[in-house]
């Protein structure tokens, strides 16, 4: 099915723009018609086949080519949707918010420009994956660790810009970025922070430079195309010890979270630790049919069978210790003693696990920065192969954790899905990421999922919980929940958008931000 032309763009203008793009990057790197399938959402939710469909894609190989493409797009009014690698699955992949948009695919821009072992940083282009950066560091024998999200095929740059998280002490990815090169919507290139000074030697060392700190406006936005970014890397520690603590009861999450907060704020818990639900963890190594062939979510009796079989709890806290052995011993004593009085608690190190394919053995790799794709095994849990993430944020309190869990899990089960969630412990925040696995081939199930997701958004907003990241289908909806003072923040975003991108050609609708030419009432 052919994609529709974007709003306000004629067939002649689009054809002329694509011809010019081909002259810039070469005809082999402009994709249309049947060649745009990789740029569609692999886990589509809508039953309208025209929604979120790109018209074409263009793949530049350099910052200069990005500049030229942006200038041509302005000339013909053709909207562009930049992606680093297009692997932002569960949030839309490479697909645009607005149908007919041309995907600006920077996968070919995959140079690792510098890795500095002394200061612990890398300077990379957006096409560099976690696998590629990890392999480079291993081949060079550098004593550095990267921080990875669950799927290692994603972009280091793209994940940081979308506020992604990982599992080492460097788990807040955007906090670890330092210095950007950005192509603005008019084709001009800027370097942020110390990069604005010719001949500087601290671009990847000092974030702020002089004057306003602007790097944040290029995350989750459509204000520019990031073509280079610095990322801080973790020096290899003197020791490493991953651990798993399991808890038997659903309502333990209240006590566990309350105990976690002081440990995290005080730095006793060093890494981006996670408390994970039973089904999410079981789905890494098992399928639902191995335990249950009935309809709807698994019953409590099946959950108990799975817990015994896999040595898991209803909640499973994965963390790690880093540093010299005496430091790790001291930290472990504090962590263990904080949870020891919870009935049914169990403590594990990797050598205590009896299965060769196991949750802790998998997390032991990701918590030391080894990129994997193992986590995607959960797509096999119930067949159908689709998933979407619902990701509200709350304080790290037991009250909020149990409240969010009860709200979300009850709705998810009401709609016939198994609850598959994790609570990621930030510096002072709790990211409650619920993965909803569904049959992407079933129109009725997609419709049911869409209804569920909208209810979850409304109920979370009513309790003051805002999503930090979302699927392209819900970007406008989530933006509207950030409405304090008559939507003052999004009005400011629109003012910036109109100043930097008066023709509205860059990523229309990204994060609910539209140019004035397509702004919704």
Q: Report d(CA 441, CA 434) in Å as an integer.
A: 21
Single out the catalytic residue among 91, 134, 243, 292: 91
Q: Does residue 469 have an active-site annotation?
A: yes
Binding site for FAD: residue ranges? 81, 84-89, 150, 153, 155, 159, 165, 167, 226, 387, 469, 510
Q: Report d(CA 373, CA 56) in Å as an integer.
A: 28
Residue 107, CA distances (Å) to 87, 110, 182, 223 in order: 10, 6, 16, 20
Single out the catalytic residue among 136, 240, 291, 468: 468
As given in the structure block, the two tokens for residue 18 are 């694509």
In 3D space, the residue among 305, 253, 260, 255 whose CA is nearest the CA of residue 279 turns out to be 305
DSSP 217: G
Single out the catalytic residue among 405, 469, 473, 474: 469
Q: Does residue 170 have an active-site annotation?
A: no
As given in the structure block, the two tokens for residue 161 are 């810009």
As given in the structure block, the two tokens for residue 304 are 């108990």
Cβ–Cβ < 8 Å for 95, 72? no
**Cα-based angle 502, 468, 313 (whole degrees, multiple of 5):** 160
- Spell 337-376 as b/e; 16+ CB within 10 A means b: ebbeeeeebeebeeeebeeeebbbbbbbbbbbbbbbebbb
Residue 269 phi, psi (nearest 5):
-85, 115
Q: Does residue 91 have an active-site annotation?
A: yes
Catalytic site positions? 91, 468-469
């Amino acid at each position: 099915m052919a994609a529709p032309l974007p709003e306000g763009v004629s067939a002649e203008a689009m054809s002329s723009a694509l011809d010019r793009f081909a002259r810039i990057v070469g005809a082999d790197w402009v994709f249309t018609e049947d060649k745009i399938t990789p740029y569609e959402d692999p886990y589509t939710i809508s039953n309208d086949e025209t929604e979120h469909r790109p018209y074409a894609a263009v793949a530049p190989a350099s910052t200069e080519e990005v500049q030229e493409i942006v200038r041509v797009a302005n000339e013909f009014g053709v909207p562009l949707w930049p992606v680093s690698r297009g692997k932002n699955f569960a949030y839309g992949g490479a697909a645009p918010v607005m149908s007919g948009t041309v995907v600006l695919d920077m996968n070919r821009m995959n140079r690792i420009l510098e890795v500095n072992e002394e200061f612990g940083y890398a300077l990379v282009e957006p096409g560099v994956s976690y696998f590629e950066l990890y392999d480079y560091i291993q081949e060079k024998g550098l004593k550095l660790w990267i921080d990875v999200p669950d799927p290692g095929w994603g972009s280091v740059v793209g994940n940081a810009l979308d506020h992604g998280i990982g599992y080492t002490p460097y788990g807040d990815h955007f906090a670890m970025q330092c210095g950007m090169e950005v192509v603005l919507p008019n084709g001009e290139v800027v370097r942020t922070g110390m990069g604005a000074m010719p001949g500087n030697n601290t671009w990847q060392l000092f974030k702020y430079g002089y004057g306003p700190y602007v790097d944040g406006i290029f995350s989750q936005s459509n204000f520019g195309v990031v073509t280079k970014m610095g990322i801080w890397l973790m020096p290899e520690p003197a020791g490493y010890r991953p651990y798993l603590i399991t808890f038997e009861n659903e309502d333990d999450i209240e006590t566990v979270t309350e105990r976690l907060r002081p440990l995290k704020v005080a730095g006793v818990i060093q890494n981006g630790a996670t408390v994970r639900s039973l089904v999410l963890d079981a789905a890494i190594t098992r399928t639902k049919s191995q335990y249950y062939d009935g309809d709807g979510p698994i019953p409590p009796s099946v959950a108990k069978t799975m817990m015994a079989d896999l040595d898991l709890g209803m909640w499973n806290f994965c963390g790690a210790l880093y540093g010299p052995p005496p430091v790790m011993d001291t930290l472990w004593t504090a962590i263990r003693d904080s949870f020891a009085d919870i009935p049914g608690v169990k403590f594990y190190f990797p050598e205590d696990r009896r299965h060769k394919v196991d949750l802790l053995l998998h997390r032991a790799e990701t918590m030391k920065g080894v990129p994997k794709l193992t986590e995607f095994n959960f797509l096999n849990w119930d067949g159908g192969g689709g998933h979407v993430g619902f990701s509200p944020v709350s304080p790290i309190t037991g009250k909020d954790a149990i409240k969010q869990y009860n709200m979300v899990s009850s709705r998810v089960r009401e709609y016939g899905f198994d609850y598959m969630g994790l609570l990621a412990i930030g510096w002072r925040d709790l990211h409650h990421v619920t993965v909803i696995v569904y049959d992407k081939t079933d129109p009725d199930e997609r419709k049911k999922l869409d209804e569920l997701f909208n209810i979850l958004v409304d109920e979370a907003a009513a309790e003051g919980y805002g999503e930090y990241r979302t699927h392209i289908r819900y970007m406008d909806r989530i933006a509207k929940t950030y409405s304090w003072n008559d939507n003052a923040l999004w009005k400011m975003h629109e003012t910036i958008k109109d100043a930097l991108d008066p023709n509205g050609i860059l990523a229309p609708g990204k994060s609910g931000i539209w140019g004035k030419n397509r702004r919704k009432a």
